[in-house]
Amino acid sequence: MPIFEIKNLSMVFGGLTALDNVSLSVEKGSTTAVIGPNGAGKTTLFNCISGLYKPSSGEVVFKGQRLTDKKPHQIANLGVGRTFQNIELFNNMTTLENLMLGRHMHMKTGLWASCTWWRRGSKACRLEIDHRARVERIIDFLDLQSARNRFVGGLPYGTQKVVELGRALATEPELLLLDEPVAGMNLEEKQDLLFWLQDIKDQFGVTLLIIEHDMRVVMEISDKVMVLNYGKPIAYGAPDEVQKNPDVLAAYIGDEQAAAQAGGQHA
Amino acid sequence: MEYFFQNVLNALQWGSFYALIALGYTLVYGVLSLINFAHGDIFMVGAYVAYFAATMFLGEVGLGPGVTLALIVPLTMLATACVGVALERIAYRPLRRKGAHRLYVVITALMCGLILENGNLALLGASRKSFPELVPTTVYAFAGLSVTNLKLAVIATAVAAFAVLHFIVTKTKIGLAMRGIAWDSFAIPLMGVPPDRIIVFTFILGSGMAGLAGVMFAMAYPVLEPYMGALIGWKAFIAAVIGGIGDIRGAFLGGFLLAFLEIGVAAVFPSTMRDLIAFSVLLVFMWQRPTGVFGVARNQKI
CA B31 to the chain's CA centroid: 16
Alpha-carbon B281 to chain mean position: 22
Question: For residue B175, what is the enclosing H or E element?
Answer: helix B173-183
Nearest chain B CA: its distance from A171 CA (Å)? 7
Structural domain spans, chain A: 4-92+172-266
Contact B179 A77 (CB under 8 A): no
For residue B10, how far is the Cα from the chain centroid? 18
> How many other C-beta atoms can be found within 10 angstroms of the C-beta atom of residue A169?
24
pLDDT at residue number A118 = 47
Nearest CA in chain B to A171: B191
Question: For residue A255, what pLDDT is reported?
Answer: 55
A114 pLDDT band (50/70/90 cuts)? low
In a mutational test of the B interface, the residue from A73, A99, A131 whose CB has the highest number of chain B CBs within 10 Å is A73
Task: Report CB contact under 8 Å: A109, B179.
Answer: no
Q: Rg of the Cα trace of chain B? A: 19
Nearest chain A alpha carbon to B302? A86
Fold of B1-288: ABC transporter involved in vitamin B12 uptake, BtuC (1.10.3470)
Are B117 and B229 in contact, with CB atoms under 8 Å apart? yes
Burial class (CB in 10 A: 0-12, 13-18, 19+), A7: middle
Distance from CA of B243 to the nearest CA of A (A): 17
Asked whether residue B112 carries a pLDDT value surpassing 90, the answer given is: yes
Compute the distance between CA of residue A97 and CA of residue A100 in angstroms, rounded to an integer: 5
From chain B, pick out residues whose CB is under 8 angstroms from the CB of A90: 179-180, 183-184, 187
Q: What is the mean pLDDT of chain B?
A: 88
Sign of CA dihedral A71, A77, A81, A87: positive
pLDDT digits (tens, 9 = 90+) for A142-187: 989 899 888 889 999 899 989 999 999 999 898 999 988 988 888 8
Question: In a mutagenesis test of the B interface, which of A88, A94, A167 is the best target, namely the one with the most B β-carbons within 10 Å?
Answer: A88
pLDDT score, position B154 = 93
Mutate to test the interface with B, among A53, A71, A86, A92 (most CBs of B within 10 A): A92
**b (16+ CB within 10 A) / e for A239-266:** beebbebeebbbbeeeeeebeeeeeeee
- Considering only CB atoms, A105 lies closest to which of B167, B192, B301, namely B192
pLDDT, average across residues A52-57 = 88
Nearest-CA distance B51 → chain A (Å) = 29
Nearest-10 Cα torsion for B113, B119, B124, B130: -10
Cβ contacts of A257 within 8 Å, gap of 6 or more? A249
Chain A residue numbers touching B174 (CB-CB < 8 A): 111
* Shortest CA distance from B169: residue in chain A: A111
* Confidence check: pLDDT of B256 > 50: yes
- Whether residues B182 and A72 touch (CB distance < 8 A) is answered with no
Q: How far is CA A55 from CA A35, A46, A70, B228, in A?
A: 20, 11, 12, 49
pLDDT given at position A161: 87
Which one has a higher pLDDT value, A70 or A115?
A70
* Alpha-carbon dihedral sign for residues B257, B263, B269, B270: positive
More confident position, B268 or B297: B268
Residues B242/B256, Cβ–Cβ less than 8 Å: no
Return the residue in A114, A131, A152, A169 with the most chain B beta carbons within 10 A, the one to mutate for interface testing. A114
Q: What is the pLDDT of residue A266?
A: 47
Bridge partners, residue A9, by sequence: A22
Residue bearing the bigger pLDDT, B251 or B289? B251
Question: A168 CA to chain B: closest CA distance, Å?
Answer: 8
The per-residue pLDDT for B297 is 67
Helix or strand holding residue B113 (H, E): helix B102-124
B301: pLDDT strictly greater than 80: no
Query: Which residues are CB-contacts of A6 (< 8 A; sequence separation ≥ 6)?
Result: A22, A23, A24, A25, A45, A49, A58, A59, A60, A61
Q: Has residue A103 got a pLDDT over 90?
A: no
Q: Do B171 and A114 touch (CB under 8 A)?
A: yes
> Do residues B20 and B40 touch, judged by C-beta distance below 8 A?
no
pLDDT digits (tens, 9 = 90+) for B270-287: 888 878 888 888 888 887
Nearest to B176 among A88, A104, A111 (CB): A104
Contact residues for B60 (Cβ-Cβ < 8 A; gap 6+): none
Question: What are the tens digits of pLDDT across the range B191-228?
Answer: 898 998 799 999 998 999 999 999 989 989 888 889 89
Least confident range from A70-74, B32-36, B178-182, B293-297: namely B293-297
User: Is A101 in Cβ contact with B191 (below 8 Å)?
Assistant: yes
Considering only the beta carbons, identify the residue of A82, A114, A115 that sits closest to B190.
A82
Per the CATH hierarchy, to which homologous superfamily does domain A4-92+172-266 belong?
P-loop containing nucleotide triphosphate hydrolases (3.40.50.300)
Q: Do A73 and B183 touch (CB under 8 A)?
A: no
C-beta atoms of A88 and B195 within 8 A: no
**Using one digit for the tens of pLDDT, what is the confidence trace for A211-267?**
987 876 888 888 888 888 888 888 888 888 787 778 777 876 565 555 565 565 544
Q: What is the pLDDT of residue B35?
A: 84
Residue of B nearest to A74 (CA): B192
State mean pLDDT over A13-35: 88
Mean pLDDT of chain A: 83
Nearest chain A residue to B180, by CA: A90
- CA closest to B179 among chain A residues: A92
- Across the interface, which of B171, B186, B191 has its CB nearest the CB of A104? B191
Has residue A120 got a pLDDT over 70?
A: no
Among candidate residues A263, A258, A255, A260, the one with its CA nearest the CA of residue A243? A258
